[in-house]
Every structure is written in C-alpha cells, then in structure tokens.
Structure 1
Amino acid sequence: MVHKILFWSGFGVAVRLWQLGIEMRPMFNKESLWVYPIYATVGGSFGYWLTGVEGRQFKVLADRRDRLLEKRRRSKEQEGLEDAAA
C-alpha cells in the first residue's frame, strides 16, 4: 500500500514539473515551492483511493472464484449421484 501512495505522490510532483516545463517557467522558484506538497498530497490521495479500489476488486474476484468452485463441486457431486442411480 505504501509503495502505491509514494509512487502517486511522486507522480503528482512530476506533473507539477511537467506543467512548469510546458509553461517554460523556473522549476524551483522560491515563491511557488509551496505548491509541490499540494501536488504530492493530491497524488498520494489518489494512490490511497486506488489501493482501496484494488482491495475491493480482489475481494469481489475471490468471492466469485469461491462461488464458481462451489458450483463445480456441487455439479460433480450431482453427476456422481446420477451415475450411481443409473
């Protein structure tokens, strides 16, 4: 989880640097250094949100997998009962 938050924080800072590069402005101007932590916080927040989304998706996939395996098991049991009755 931490690595995703750190990655997206770094991505937020990279976006700020890219923005300043496009505008051809100085990268580390003393008056605008306060903006970098904001971009890092926004990026980190996105990474934290994305971690939650990923966890929910893994839970849904695991539940679906378990239901399919249970369905297959019941189907094989049913086939076994049908073969024994015949």
Structure 2
Amino acid sequence: MVSRIIFWTGFGIATRVWQLGLQQIKPWSPKLLWAYPIFGACGASFGYWLETVDKKQVEILQERKEAILAKRARRAAREGEAA
C-alpha cells in the first residue's frame, strides 16, 4: 500500500516538474515551491484511492470465486447422486 502511495506522490511531483519544464521555467524557483506539496498530495490521494479500489475488487473477485466453487460442488454432488 505504501509503495503505491509513494509512487503516485512522486508522479505528482514529476508532473509539476514536467509542467514547469514545458513552460521553460526553472523547477526549483522559490516562488513556485508551494505547488510541489499540492501536486504530491494529489498524487498520494490518487494512490490511496487506487489502493482502496484494488482491495474492493479483490474482495469481490474472492466472493465470486467462492460462489462459483460452491455452485460447482453442488452440481457435482447432484450429478453424483443421479449417477
């Protein structure tokens, strides 16, 4: 979880550096340093959101897998009784 958040924090900061590079402004100008924490926080919040989405999807997939396996077991038992 932490690695994903750290990655997206770095991605947010890199986005700011790239933005300033496109504008041909020095990335480490003292007047512009206030934006780095904002871009980093936006990236970190996206990483956290992505982590929660991933956890929810894994839970849903696990529930569906269990339901399918239970259904297969019931079917095998029913076919075993019929044979």
- TM-score normalised over the length of structure 1: 0.95
Distance in 2 (alpha carbons) for counterparts of 1:34 and 1:18? 16
1:81: Cα distance to partner? 0.4
Question: Unaligned stretches of 5+ in structure 1?
Answer: none
| Residue correspondence of structure 1 range 11-22 to structure 2 within 5 A | 11-22=11-22
Identical aligned residues as a percent: 43
Residue identity opposite 1:69 in structure 2: L
- SS of 1:24's equivalent in the other structure is coil
Residue identity opposite 1:13 in structure 2: I
Runs of 4+ in 1 over 2 A off after TM superposition: none
Distance in 2 (alpha carbons) for counterparts of 1:22 and 1:63? 47
Question: Unaligned stretches of 5+ in structure 2?
Answer: none
- SS of 2:82's equivalent in the other structure is helix
Matching residue of 2:55: 55
Residue identity opposite 1:19 in structure 2: Q
Taking only aligned residues, the RMSD between alpha carbons, in angstroms, comes to 0.5
How many residue pairs get aligned? The number is 83
1:49: Cα distance to partner? 0.5
1:34: Cα distance to partner? 1.1
Distance in 1 (alpha carbons) for counterparts of 2:47 and 2:23? 26
Structure index of larger Rg: 1
